[in-house]
Chains A and B, each alone.
Chain A
Amino acid sequence: MTSAHDIAARVAAGSSATTEVETSLTAISQRNAELNVFLYVDEEGARAAAHQVDERIARGEKLPLAGVPVALKDNLCTEGIPTTCSSKILEGWRPPYTATVVERLLAAGAIPMGKTNLDEFAMGSSTENSAFGPTLNPLDPRRVPGGSSGGSAAAIAAGMTPISLGSDTGGSIRQPAALCGVVGIKPTYGLVSRYGVIAFASSLDQVGPFAANVADAALTLEVIAGHDRMDSTSLPETSPSLVAHLKDGVAGRRVGYVKELVDGSDPDVAAAVAAAVEVLRAQGATIVEMSIPELQLGLSAYYLIAPAEASSNLARYDGVRFGLRVDGDDVAGMNEATRTAGFGAEVKRRIMLGTYALSAGYFDAYYGQALKVRTLTINAFQKAYADVDFLIGATTPSVAFPFGSKTKDPMAMYLNDVFTIPSNLAGDPAVSVPFGRGEANLPIGVQLLGPGRSEAGLLAAAQVLEDAERAR
């Protein structure tokens, strides 16, 4: 598929955006029935948007994503277009408003093609928790695409759109990016607006881009980032300059090669990370081998904090105002019947976990303790960043795994996020970039982690790895 940069350039030069939309629609129609990437394809809306982009270009507007088809994770609100979070409880709901990130994409000339599949309410690492069936990995349909943003990662891997948006609460962008062989960015917390992003765990959720290459991911992040007054946790700064820094390289940078971000991964994954480290060293970076033991505590802290926030965020799905309603004898009965019928098993598990963790008598031992561990994680990262510019490790312990291989044991599934969770706890940015291949010739993701607002440096390093991968 043509890159977003190339599409935007040719549409700006007068080529019709309609051509790009039709190309994307064709790619979607060829494989969506098989892969279940899109839950909803907005053909009419995309074609209308293409006309508008052509008109805006004709009027002389400069649009950084002119005519670029984009896929949206189905937890992003889109006015008048079904937004389900892959849950039966929201089936048929059409939001009366549009998320800030989608508004910014539209303003930049991008064309939303539709809504992609995810684990229900973004809770999962394989899209197997979708109420509307799993998404298949386009590289090997017997395997998962990762999750929770599996649909948005698969859309890129299947060549359906050049860019897409996902959300990352504990690795939900980086993990599927690694498993589908694409680039995924989890930005600094607050860099991208959460307004209109259906909350899973508010203090951890962050929207970010997927793309087939680092430059397209950087361009997309530039478009969606920057202060939004509708989100109180939004950082005050304007969007950072990223694309301009992609050729900055890594010469003179100090890179922490972190034991805990590789330990426990498959040998092919560990070898890929080691190879990436050598590339960075060869390009002039200083490699510092380090151990940050606190990172291993992240998983348990995350599985208290995220469910606790989720138990509150998901209370509103009560059958009263929108979405599914199943009648009961009284209001409480209606609430219960609706939630029993509307939520899947994993969502229920996490609501119960979180409710328990916040309950009187347990709060200090569970939620309170998890917050302390979160502080430990933040401090450990800060200490590391006093010595190095960024960290390198694996994104996931393995390449894409077969369907059903981890569904019986929630802990096995949760462990998939062990390398990605610490960045969410700290609110720091991290990038997954494809580097090397492993079992069954499937792609491996290398993860680069940095302190808050270090996206430009991280993406320059990711570009170094991408260039090396292409040259191999």
Chain B
Amino acid sequence: MSLPDGWEMVIGLEVHTELQTKTKLFCGCANAFGADANSQVCPVCLGLPGSLPVLNEQAVELAMAIGFALHCSVAPSTFHRKNYFYPDMPKDYQISQYDLPINSNGYLDLPDGSRVTIERAHLEEDTGKSTHLGGSGRIHGADRSLVDYNRSGVPLVEIVSGPDMRSAAQARAYAAELRGILIATGASDGRLEEGSMRFDANVSVRRPGAPLGTRCEIKNLNSLRSLQRAIDYEAARHVAILEDGGKIRQETRHWSEDLGETSTMRTKEEADDYRYFLEPDLVELSPSIEWQDRVRAALPPMPAERRATLLTIVSEPTSAQRDAVGVIVDLQLDRFVLDAVAQGADAALAIARTSNEIAAGIDSLANLSLDSFVTTLQLEASGSLSATQAKTVLAEVLATGGDPVAIAAARGFEQLASDTLSDLVASLVEAHPDEWHRFREGDEKLAQFFIGQVMKATKGQANGKAVIAELNARR
């Protein structure tokens, strides 16, 4: 979706990602999703009187890894207290980095070549989770509220972009690329549905070249789809107001996925005064150069580099193949493809089958061994299986974990004997003299006609390449 002519969107994103540490940010409680409510808590993450925070080194390492992956500079940093009352925040303040974040001034290049600046990526603790029962179902007006503190104190990194994005699709691409980077660094599992990543979008519109318009912040978007829809909705709302001669009020807004619209959460005037001050229970965090170097050296290749590596296996990649490579890296299947090719699989086939059939059956990936994959691709490349048959075999291997050769045999995907194919082509040539003539005159499109006829006659069991070879032999 795009705005009416003469309007430009300006988008900046704040992305919260939970870090995949063994323990929480300031205590030894397990950091794991899905345990019984309030089973992973201690005096520290419950904010009991007398408890004190101790910074988790693994969280610092993952934060630095994110920083380095985003080309940030890592600097000595401090923690502040952000004070406000909320029942799922045990101390009634959140420990967060404020004026001196661990990472600042980086950038992220998107697959389309655009660059988004990263203002900062800082460490902070997560809150618990409230469930409001009865009444309105929200905190005001509920009959009862239950709080689970398992998430309290889970380490978060908040990544703040510059106001650099100009479309919801670009914002989505940024979020997706960032997700890939977070997964690659090992910082996050990238599971949006579990809340591992959450997005806040700052959206404004302006006439191109004009100063920035008044922005609204849409809080807590938890899927790429919601992110894109919410931004499009919000920008259109701004344009409608402005074209009506109205003014945008700076405010925080809530996105309803069901209604497909945003609504006011609180206005700027209602914003809390967080009374930030330096957290006296923690000391300055200044990772040594040696520690920073170790983290930097241990960084695995990022998605952009991995896409580039994967593309090197095809000589002149098509745009479809470029897209396919993006899908493969997103699914963390690039190593698998490279291994298959190293074992003799055809590169183009490996990319096509992985980005389509395997992507579709990704949940049962465990059923597909590298050997089975390579075997299937080789059967297809050699002409023993048609493309259709190879796809069917692959789907069944994914579903059952069976052997591809046995599956092909059981389905009757026997290779059409070459003399049978030869006889069949001969009879078709005889039956369609006009088409045969045009083909002989050099109209290659007619090859598809004959392949179609052969497929019809063999119920799809023939190999297209073998048909072309047979036709060419008769030219």
A187 CB, nearest partner CB in chain B, Å:
17
Nearest residue, chain A, Cβ from B147: A320
Q: For the complex, is A367 an interface residue (Cβ under 8 Å from B)? A: yes
Q: For the complex, is B145 an interface residue (Cβ under 8 Å from A)? A: yes
State whether A233 touches B51 (Cβ < 8 A). no
State whether B91 touches A199 (Cβ < 8 A). no
| A193-216 near B? 1/0 per residue, CB < 8 Å | 011111101110000000000000
Docked complex Cα distance between A330 and B85 (Å): 13
Nearest residue, chain A, Cβ from B135: A330
State whether A199 touches B50 (Cβ < 8 A). yes
| B86-106 near A? 1/0 per residue, CB < 8 Å | 010011110000000000000
State whether B85 touches A315 (Cβ < 8 A). yes
Q: For the complex, is A77 an interface residue (Cβ under 8 Å from B)? A: yes
Q: Contacts A202-B280, A359-B273 given; indicate if A232 touches B90 (C-beta within 8 A).
A: no
Residue from A93, A230, A231, A312 within 8 A of B83 (CB atoms): A312
B309 CB, nearest partner CB in chain A, Å:
42
State whether A330 touches B140 (Cβ < 8 A). yes
Contacts of A96 in B (CB 8 A): 43, 48
Contacts of A203 in B (CB 8 A): 280
Contacts of B405 in A (CB 8 A): none
State whether A355 touches B275 (Cβ < 8 A). yes
Q: Contacts A202-B281, A358-B277, A359-B273 given; indicate if A232 touches B52 (C-beta within 8 A).
A: yes
Q: List CB contacts (< 8 Å) of A178-228 with chain B.
A: 194-199, 201-203
Residue from B54, B139, B273, B275 within 8 A of A232 (CB atoms): B54
Q: Contacts A315-B93, A316-B92 given; indicate if A233 touches B283 (C-beta within 8 A).
A: yes
| A143-176 near B? 1/0 per residue, CB < 8 Å | 0000000000000000000000000000000000
Q: For the complex, is A321 an interface residue (Cβ under 8 Å from B)? A: yes
Nearest residue, chain B, Cβ from A355: B275
State whether A318 touches B140 (Cβ < 8 A). no
Chain A, interface residues (CB within 8 Å), range: 35 or more
| B275-293 near A? 1/0 per residue, CB < 8 Å | 1110011110000000000
Contacts of A97 in B (CB 8 A): 43, 48, 50-51
Q: For the complex, is B49 an interface residue (Cβ under 8 Å from A)? A: yes
Q: List CB contacts (< 8 Å) of A275-327 with chain B.
A: 308-309, 311-312, 315-318, 320-322
Q: For the complex, is A244 an interface residue (Cβ under 8 Å from B)? A: no
Residue from A195, A308, A318 within 8 A of B85 (CB atoms): A318
State whether B47 touches A316 (Cβ < 8 A). yes
State whether A322 touches B48 (Cβ < 8 A). yes
Contacts of B52 in A (CB 8 A): 194-195, 230-232
Q: For the complex, is A229 an interface residue (Cβ under 8 Å from B)? A: yes
Contacts of A309 in B (CB 8 A): 277, 280
Contacts of A317 in B (CB 8 A): 49
State whether A198 touches B85 (Cβ < 8 A). no
Residue from A93, A99, A233, A316 within 8 A of B281 (CB atoms): A233
| A324-336 near B? 1/0 per residue, CB < 8 Å | 0000001110010
| B116-132 near A? 1/0 per residue, CB < 8 Å | 00000000000000000
Docked complex Cα distance between A196 and B43 (Å): 9
B355 CB, nearest partner CB in chain A, Å:
48
Residue from A75, A229, A315 within 8 A of B92 (CB atoms): A315
State whether A331 touches B145 (Cβ < 8 A). yes
Q: For the complex, is B24 an interface residue (Cβ under 8 Å from A)? A: no
Contacts of B147 in A (CB 8 A): 320
Q: For the complex, is B46 an interface residue (Cβ under 8 Å from A)? A: yes
Q: For the complex, is A411 an interface residue (Cβ under 8 Å from B)? A: no
Q: Contacts A96-B43, A312-B93, A330-B140 given; indicate if A232 touches B50 (C-beta within 8 A).
A: no
Docked complex Cα distance between A229 and B280 (Å): 16
Q: List CB contacts (< 8 Å) of B36-55 with chain A.
A: 43, 46-55
Interface of chain B: mostly helix, strand, loop or mixed: loop
Q: List CB contacts (< 8 Å) of B258-311 with chain A.
A: 273, 275-277, 280-283
Residue from A85, A308, A330 within 8 A of B277 (CB atoms): A308
State whether B50 touches A196 (Cβ < 8 A). yes
Q: For the complex, is B215 an interface residue (Cβ under 8 Å from A)? A: no
Docked complex Cα distance between A77 and B52 (Å): 12
Docked complex Cα distance between A198 and B92 (Å): 16
Docked complex Cα distance between A231 and B53 (Å): 7
State whether B275 touches A312 (Cβ < 8 A). yes
Docked complex Cα distance between A76 and B273 (Å): 32
Docked complex Cα distance between A96 and B147 (Å): 19
Docked complex Cα distance between A315 and B55 (Å): 22
State whether B277 touches A367 (Cβ < 8 A). yes
State whether A321 touches B90 (Cβ < 8 A). yes
Docked complex Cα distance between A317 and B47 (Å): 10
Q: For the complex, is A471 an interface residue (Cβ under 8 Å from B)? A: no
Q: Contacts A232-B282, A320-B147 given; indicate if A335 touches B85 (C-beta within 8 A).
A: yes
Q: For the complex, is A347 an interface residue (Cβ under 8 Å from B)? A: no
State whether B49 touches A198 (Cβ < 8 A). yes
Q: For the complex, is B81 an interface residue (Cβ under 8 Å from A)? A: yes
Q: Contacts A232-B53, A331-B145 given; indicate if A318 touches B280 (C-beta within 8 A).
A: no
Contacts of A270 in B (CB 8 A): none
Docked complex Cα distance between A90 and B140 (Å): 27
B47 CB, nearest partner CB in chain A, Å:
5
Contacts of A230 in B (CB 8 A): 52, 54
Q: Name the residue in B47, B48, B282 with the highest tally of chain A Cβ atoms < 10 Å from its Cβ.
A: B48
B128 CB, nearest partner CB in chain A, Å:
10
Q: Contacts A99-B50, A194-B52 given; indicate if A359 touches B280 (C-beta within 8 A).
A: no
Q: Name the residue in B49, B83, B145 with the highest tally of chain A Cβ atoms < 10 Å from its Cβ.
A: B49
Docked complex Cα distance between A318 and B83 (Å): 13
State whether B273 touches A360 (Cβ < 8 A). yes
Nearest residue, chain B, Cβ from A336: B85
Contacts of B276 in A (CB 8 A): 358
Docked complex Cα distance between A233 and B284 (Å): 10
Q: List CB contacts (< 8 Å) of B61-92 with chain A.
A: 81, 83, 85, 87, 90-92
Nearest residue, chain B, Cβ from A330: B140
Q: List CB contacts (< 8 Å) of A43-83 with chain B.
A: 75-77, 83
Contacts of B141 in A (CB 8 A): 330
Docked complex Cα distance between A309 and B280 (Å): 8
Q: List CB contacts (< 8 Å) of A81-132 with chain B.
A: 83, 85, 90, 93, 95-97, 99
Contacts of B48 in A (CB 8 A): 77, 95-97, 321-322
State whether A197 touches B277 (Cβ < 8 A). no
Nearest residue, chain B, Cβ from A317: B49
B328 CB, nearest partner CB in chain A, Å:
44
| A363-375 near B? 1/0 per residue, CB < 8 Å | 1000100000000
Contacts of A194 in B (CB 8 A): 52
Contacts of A308 in B (CB 8 A): 277
State whether B50 touches A195 (Cβ < 8 A). yes
Nearest residue, chain A, Cβ from B92: A315
Docked complex Cα distance between A199 and B280 (Å): 11
Nearest residue, chain A, Cβ from B83: A312
Q: Contacts A96-B48, A198-B49, A358-B275 given; indicate if A232 touches B55 (C-beta within 8 A).
A: yes
Q: Contacts A232-B54, A315-B92, A330-B140 given; indicate if A321 touches B275 (C-beta within 8 A).
A: no
Q: Contacts A316-B47, A355-B275 given; indicate if A233 touches B91 (C-beta within 8 A).
A: no
State whether A95 touches B47 (Cβ < 8 A). no
Contacts of B43 in A (CB 8 A): 95-97
Q: List 21 A-B contacts (CB under 8 A).
A: A75-B50, A77-B50, A95-B48, A99-B50, A196-B50, A196-B51, A203-B280, A230-B54, A231-B54, A232-B282, A232-B283, A312-B81, A315-B91, A316-B49, A317-B49, A318-B85, A318-B87, A318-B92, A358-B83, A358-B276, A358-B277
Closest 8 CB pairs of A and B: A315-B92, A358-B275, A203-B280, A202-B280, A198-B49, A196-B50, A77-B50, A198-B50
Known contacts A318-B92, A320-B147, A321-B47; 11 additional CB pairs below 8 A are A77-B50, A95-B49, A97-B48, A232-B52, A311-B275, A320-B90, A321-B48, A322-B48, A330-B141, A358-B83, A367-B277
Which chain A residues have a beta carbon within 8 Å of chain B's beta carbons? 75-77, 83, 85, 90, 93, 95-97, 99, 194-199, 201-203, 229-233, 308-309, 311-312, 315-318, 320-322, 330-332, 335, 355, 358-360, 363, 367
